[in-house]
């Protein structure tokens, strides 16, 4: 059955950049979310790459209700279930399988599936997904690839992630088939290590100011 992914949560309407967050210390989760929200960034993708990730999602969702907290690096049904149980309201995957798409649909968890090839796009389209994450964007072709896909996949829009910086993000956002970008530059490791929340708020404000050319 065809579905409209993210039908209950249209991520790009909240801003041009989705931060890709890696949490190592649970105690950083709430102040980090607060700093991003203060800077106008409400959609937060917390990657399931560390033991602190799921507790961080739970803490953010509970303590910062203005934040729209999702889980990244969702690899299968078990990850999706754990993310949903922790309070995530959307999922992001680095690749796509029908099993993952079906699992998220069954959980009522909106999914932004990752793709890197035309075949993966076609598989996602077969399952009703037309808003996709290009990952790792820079490594697999970036802007030239997205331009090449615009004609054969005119019904598809993208959130490119992977290697994008504040300097290159405007070039991606200028493409007609790009609705938003994902970036880790909003939460740089040095700022997290120093708990420099003011710096993260500043980066969030700058990200919200990015617009398509």
- Largest Cα span, the chain: 48
pLDDT top residue among 212 and 90: 90
User: What are the phi and psi torsion angles at 34 (to 5°)?
Assistant: -65, -40
Give me the percent of the chain exceeding a pLDDT of 70: 94
Cα angle vertex 53, ends 50, 55, to 5°?
Answer: 130
Q: Distance between CA atoms of 77 and 93, rounded to whole angstroms? A: 11
Q: What are the residues whose beta carbons fall under 8 Å from the beta carbon of 75, sequence distance 6 or more?
A: 48, 93, 94, 100
Is 31 a member of any domain?
A: yes
Tens of pLDDT, residue by residue over 54-88, are 999 999 999 999 999 999 999 999 999 999 999 99
Is 213 a member of any domain?
A: no
Number of domains forming the structure of the chain: 1
User: What are the phi and psi torsion angles at 66 (to 5°)?
Assistant: -70, -20
What CATH number is attached to the domain comprising 165? 3.20.20.70
Is 106 a member of any domain?
A: yes
Preceding omega of 129 cis (within 30 degrees of 0): no
Tens of pLDDT, residue by residue over 179-201, are 999 999 999 999 999 999 999 99
Is 166 a member of any domain?
A: yes
Is 190 a member of any domain?
A: yes
**The one catalytic residue among 38, 66, 133, 202:** 133
Is 178 a member of any domain?
A: yes
For residue 147, indicate whether it is catalytic: no
Helices (H) and strands (E) in the chain, counts: 10, 9
Q: What is the pLDDT of residue 6?
A: 54
Q: What is the pLDDT of residue 211?
A: 65
For residue 66, indicate whether it is catalytic: no
For the entire predicted model, the pTM comes to 0.94
Q: Which structural domain, as residue segments, surrounds residue 72? A: 11-206
Q: What are the residues whose beta carbons fall under 8 Å from the beta carbon of 123, sequence distance 6 or more?
A: 96, 97, 98
Is 211 a member of any domain?
A: no
**The one catalytic residue among 27, 38, 45, 147:** 45
Is 165 a member of any domain?
A: yes
């Amino acid at each position: 059955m065809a579905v409209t992914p993210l039908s209950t949560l249209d991520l790009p309407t909240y801003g041009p950049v989705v931060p890709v967050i890696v949490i190592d210390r649970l105690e950083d989760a709430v102040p980090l979310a607060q700093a991003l929200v203060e800077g106008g960034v409400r959609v937060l993708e917390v990657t399931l790459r560390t033991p602190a990730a799921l507790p961080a999602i739970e803490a953010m969702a509970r303590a910062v209700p203005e934040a729209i907290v999702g889980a990244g690096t969702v690899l299968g049904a078990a990850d999706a279930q754990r993310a949903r149980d922790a309070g995530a309201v959307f999922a992001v995957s680095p690749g796509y399988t029908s099993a993952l798409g079906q699992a998220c649909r069954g959980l009522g968890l909106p999914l932004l599936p990752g793709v890197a090839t035309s075949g993966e796009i076609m598989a996602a389209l077969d399952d009703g997904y037309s808003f996709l994450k290009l990952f790792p964007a820079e490594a697999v072709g970036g802007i030239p690839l997205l331009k090449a896909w615009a004609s054969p996949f005119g019904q598809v829009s993208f959130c490119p992630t992977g290697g994008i910086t504040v300097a290159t993000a405007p070039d991606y956002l200028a493409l007609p088939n790009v609705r938003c970008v994902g970036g880790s530059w909003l939460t740089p490791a040095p700022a997290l290590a120093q708990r420099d929340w003011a710096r993260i708020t500043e980066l969030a404000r700058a990200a919200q100011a990015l617009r398509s050319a």
